[in-house]
Amino acid sequence: MTNLPNVTFEPADSSLEGTVVVLAEEKFVLPNRAAQLNRQSRGQIKRAAGIADFKGESGRCLDLLAPNAAKIDRLLIVGVGEARRLDHDGWVLLGGRAYAELAARKIDVASIVLELKNRRVDSKSVAAFGLGMLLRSYRYTKFKKPNDRRPNKNAVRPASIRIVCRTHRAAGKAFAAEHGLADGVFLARDLVNEPANTLGPAEFAERACELEKLGVVCESLDEAALEDIGMGALLAVGQGSARPSRVVVMRWTGTGRKRVRPLAFIGKGVVFDTGGISLKPAKGMEDMKGDMGGAAAVVGLMHALAVRRVPINAVGVIGLVEKMPSANAQRPGDIVTSLSGQTVEVLNTDAEGRLVLADLLWYTQDRFKPKMMINLATLTGAIMVALGQEYAGLFSNDDKLADRLAKAGHDTGEKVWRMPLDPAYDKEIDSKIADIRNIGARWGGAITAAQFLQRFVRDVPWAHLDVAGTAFASKRSDINESWASGFGVRLLDRLVAEHYQD
């Protein structure tokens, strides 16, 4: 895991020296301390901004070396645009951007003054800013060995940040919670970034079971157990692999009462998806090491909930399989019997995620009678055709749950867009010789996949998030430089915090 920068919080009147970061609003409105520095420097700061035509626009930054102000070596002025537009997500992005500006200049130690002229900066905003910095500091270095020439290649930079703000005590507390969340996101990113040769089903299960340290009760079900249970659909996906499938159940009993019905989170964990006998083309196939992004998000979320000792009951269920072509692999046309008893005609072995989820959904509702259940899966290329890489697809049988997810997505920046479920699509997945077929005709592939999943859901509020476009390989963002995003951890953590806590 990444070394995190050390962040401390100090009162608004702390002395400033070395490298200092301040914020500027549009029309170059400077808050208190920054205006003070401008006066000390006899207007040097405003003059520099005028020369650079910098007006505090969001996304821009002004760098002043050796300003004539007190003990300051360097002043970085980060534009925020219109202050009243800064919501939670805005603060997170701003933190990421400020961190990136410091990192780009190889600055090791900095003080950041978080104040605005036209708006009080509360402790939640400061904590959100801090979260953005942490998220941006993530790097995946497991396979980068430090060498003699560049011993510090893997060190975090900046390593030490002092945040100067009005509410430094409350901000420090709020930040501690965000720290646990960032750890969860990093865990998800680590799992998604790791290649499949070192992260097979057994290794993934082991990593998930490390949550035991945090008080999460973990069960790792092996193939014999899965056969006993009757997970024929899931097992058929992994039958072509030399590495046996696993299902891991993670239970967090934050209420202290086992009888309280849990929230359930379910993840597709295909450690590598070659497509099987319906083999994928070579180009870009390496991305399919990330086909366990849903399961990774579930593990990251359970980590975040447990670290913060969130007072709810939650259960995470992940299906870990490897989709390989081999002499034992499933064939197109095979018919498998799922745990629900429904038979599935497998017309394309590459539509494997839905087979894994079918059994997990059935198992979870049967065993845990959850209050609601949400599954995450890198399920279809079709969702990327529909929504690109900005929004995840949201399918739900429950309007209230869907609205809550959409709102949590808006607030965290992990955005979701609702797509339809409709019995009219059912004819696409009706099979002539089995109960269901695993692919529809050409169009609406993300919808027919969701419609397939719904056949394994009974009367429980349920949502399916198709994260194929958002779990990895997005363009670089302010809060992530690595391939894996950890998408889903912050979204679901927010959903829980807003609607299910206390």
Which residues are part of the catalytic machinery? 280, 354
Query: Residue from 160, 255, 348, 389 that binds ligand BES (CB under 6 A)?
Result: 348
Which residue, 149 or 475, is less far from ligand BES as judged by CB? 475
How far is residue 380 CA from its own chain's centroid?
18
Could you say which of Zn ion, ligand BES, none residue 445 binds, taking C-beta under 5 to 8 angstroms by partner kind? ligand BES
Q: Binding of ligand BES at residue 291 (CB under 6 A)?
A: yes
Q: Binding of ligand BES at residue 439 (CB under 6 A)?
A: yes
**Residues in Cβ contact with 311 at an 8 Å cutoff, skipping those fewer than 6 apart:** 254, 255, 501, 502
Q: Binding of ligand BES at residue 444 (CB under 6 A)?
A: no
Q: Binding of Zn ion at residue 322 (CB under 5 A)?
A: no
Q: Binding of ligand BES at residue 350 (CB under 6 A)?
A: yes
Query: Residue from 114, 185, 301, 351 that binds ligand BES (CB under 6 A)?
Result: 351
Query: Measured from the CB of residue 502, what is the shortest distance to ligand BES in angstroms?
Result: 37
Strand 217-221 vs strand 246-253: parallel, antiparallel, or unpaired?
A: antiparallel
**Contact indicator for 277, 328 with CB cutoff of 8 Å:** no
Query: Residue from 101, 183, 194, 291 that binds Zn ion (CB under 5 A)?
Result: 291
Strand 313-323 vs strand 335-337: parallel, antiparallel, or unpaired?
A: unpaired
Could you say which of Zn ion, ligand BES, none residue 348 binds, taking C-beta under 5 to 8 angstroms by partner kind? ligand BES
Identify which range of 31-39, 91-99, 110-118, 345-353 contacts ligand BES by CB under 6 A.
345-353
Strand 6-11 vs strand 416-418: parallel, antiparallel, or unpaired?
A: unpaired
Identify which range of 209-217, 248-256, 377-385, 405-413 contacts ligand BES by CB under 6 A.
377-385
Query: Residue from 350, 359, 466, 478 that binds Zn ion (CB under 5 A)?
Result: 350
**Residues in Cβ contact with 188 at an 8 Å cutoff, skipping those fewer than 6 apart:** 293, 296, 297, 299, 300, 301, 484, 486, 487, 488, 489
**Residues in Cβ contact with 412 at an 8 Å cutoff, skipping those fewer than 6 apart:** 88, 89, 92, 490, 491, 494
**DSSP string computed for 128-153:** HHHHHHHHHH----TT----SSSTTT
Q: Binding of Zn ion at residue 273 (CB under 5 A)?
A: yes
Query: Measured from the CB of residue 344, what is the shortest distance to ligand BES in angstroms?
Result: 13
Helices (H), 342-488: 353-368, 382-387, 399-412, 426-429, 445-454
Provide the 3-class DSSP secondary structure of residue 332: coil
Query: Measured from the CB of residue 79, what is the shortest distance to ligand BES in angstroms?
Result: 35
Identify which range of 22-30, 221-229, 346-354, 399-407 contacts ligand BES by CB under 6 A.
346-354
Cβ atoms < 10 Å from Cβ of 401: 19
Whole-number Cα distances in Å, 186 to 4, 258, 263: 10, 29, 22
d(CA 425, CA 155): 52
Q: Binding of ligand BES at residue 194 (CB under 6 A)?
A: no
Which residue, 350 or 359, is less far from Zn ion as judged by CB? 350
Query: Measured from the CB of residue 241, what is the shortest distance to Zn ion in angstroms?
Result: 13
Whole-number Cα distances in Å, 329 to 241, 242, 275, 319: 7, 10, 11, 18
Which residue, 51 or 282, is less far from ligand BES as judged by CB? 282
**Contact indicator for 303, 327 with CB cutoff of 8 Å:** no
Could you say which of ligand BES, Zn ion, none residue 101 binds, taking C-beta under 5 to 8 angstroms by partner kind? none
Q: Which residues would be at the binding site for ligand BES (CB under 6 A)?
A: 273, 291, 348, 350-353, 378-382, 439, 445, 468
Q: Which residues would be at the binding site for Zn ion (CB under 5 A)?
A: 270, 273, 291, 350, 352-353
